Amino acid sequence: MQLNVVILAAGQGKRMKSALPKVLQPLAGKPLLKHVIDAAQALQASSVCVVYGHRGEVVREALKSERVSWVEQAQQLGTGHAVQQAMPTVKDDAMVLVLYGDVPLIRRSTLEELVKLAGPKAMSLLTMVVDDPTGYGRIVRNAKGQVLKIVEQKDASKAQLKIREGNTGVLAAPAKLLKKWLGRLKNSNAQGEYLLTDIVAMAVKDKVKVNPLVAPTVAEVLGINDKVQLAEVEALRRAQVAKDLMVAGVTLADPARLDVRGTLTHGVDVFIDVNTVFEGDVTLGDRVRIGPNCVIRDAKIGSDTEIFASVAIDGAEVGARCAIGPFARLRPGATLADEVHIGNFVEVKNSRMGAGSKANHLTYVGDADVGAKVNFGAGTIIANYDGANKHRTVIEDGVHTGSNSVLVAPITVGTGATVGAGSTVTRGVPAGKLTLARARQVVIEDWVRPVKQKKT
């Protein structure tokens, strides 16, 4: 049977107290709904349909690049009504998996197992067992442990409220039967809504097997309704990511002070110090060491490279055996070859630096092609912007610049050239020569420093 995934994402999320729709609230650097879409697409479903509602145009615009179809639920009349909106495009011989846009940590392995438990004459239901199921519908079973129905908290008796098994809302059912059950829904409940949970009792009545699956972890089925829950789920995700990294061999100075907001790929014997944030897609080679308080986004770091404290790396590629920082910044387009040294208060942007080159302090390298074994003296900058356009600079192998030099682009500095300290270079520098571009030092013998006049 083909798998069709329906994601319910129409809720307003009033408790978020935010102008941003609930399903667009950020978790680990991306919207809640994006996490759920990624989980659905990992199942290789034939289609993924998102049912949207409140501020739907904002939701669609934010996720316009996603390979999903969109269906509007103009009136929010309940979860059953929401699923109905997606069913006209679903073939009768398909399997339907229902997910929720505010349940972001659901795991692919759990969903795969849930789908396997459903079939042409069986539906499956994801449940959770918690000490305090307040707010969740209760799973009512018979003496044999078979699921009979789901009772919403507002409709539950005192005895049913003591049940610790709660409904996650996630289920899989054959489309033909699901359409029939949805057509029978009524809103005669405390909420006055057409509730998807009511189809469980219908399935039991129709002698269709209901196969429950208790979620392996509660964290993956937690829904998010306010900023407190958002922070709690974020913390749970951080803890799980940290655990996964340590199991895979990464050494973390403190697992509680790591934030991975994307995908982190790593080699062996990697060390990560405290308060480091990874965003986007980051790759760390073997034996990479990351110092404290770093932010690394969409970057590749080569083997045996050390990133010292308080370094920001964004959209850059760093070779092997490099030393970066502390207090350095690599901006998009920075490409460093092996054994490059970037020291404190150095910024590299849209530039290539050859093997063994060094910029150890107080240097700006922008829009430049830098060769091998180049040494930038302290305070050297490449003046790449004329106020309207950026210009490129070529610095060939073996160049040395003295402290406080300014290289005004576009120029070429030839192989082995030396630029004297304090020079402002505006024309090409010949290879192998010393170039000076500074005023001659003069001493004014009879000069007297001005003195402030006393106020009368």
Q: Which of 81, 266, 341, 361 is catalytic?
A: 361
CA distances from 68 to 12, 40, 75, 76, 111 (A): 21, 10, 21, 21, 18
Q: 79-86 vs 175-184: helix axis angle to the nearest 10?
A: 130
Beta-ladder partners of 95: 3, 174
What span, in angstroms and rounded, lies between the C-alpha atoms of 439 and 266?
52
Q: Which among 438, 450, 452 has a CA at the least distance from the CA of 401?
A: 438
Is 361 catalytic? The answer is yes
Q: CB neighbours of 260 closer than 8 A, spacing ≥ 6?
A: 28, 238, 241, 245, 278
Structure tokens at 432: 């192998």
The answer to whether the beta carbons of residues 421 and 440 sit under 8 Å apart is no
Cα dihedral 51, 55, 58, 62, rounded to 10, equals -40
Secondary structure of 38-89 in HEC code, one letter for each residue: HHHHCCCCCEEEEEECCCHHHHHHHCCCCCCEEEECCCCCCHHHHHHHHHHH
Contact call for residues 284 and 265 (beta carbons, < 8 A):
yes
**3-state secondary structure labels for all residues of 300-357:** EECCCCEECCCCEEECCEECCCCEECCCCEECCCCEECCCCEEEEEEEEECCEECCCC
Q: How far apart are CA 384 and CA 376, in angstroms?
A: 16
The strand pair at 122-129 and 165-174 is best described as antiparallel
Of the chain, the end-to-end C-alpha distance in Å amounts to 98
* Separation between Cα atoms, residue 281 and residue 300, nearest integer Å: 8
Question: How far apart are alpha carbons 98 and 83 in whole angstroms?
Answer: 8
Place of tokens 């937690």: 222
Active site residues: 361
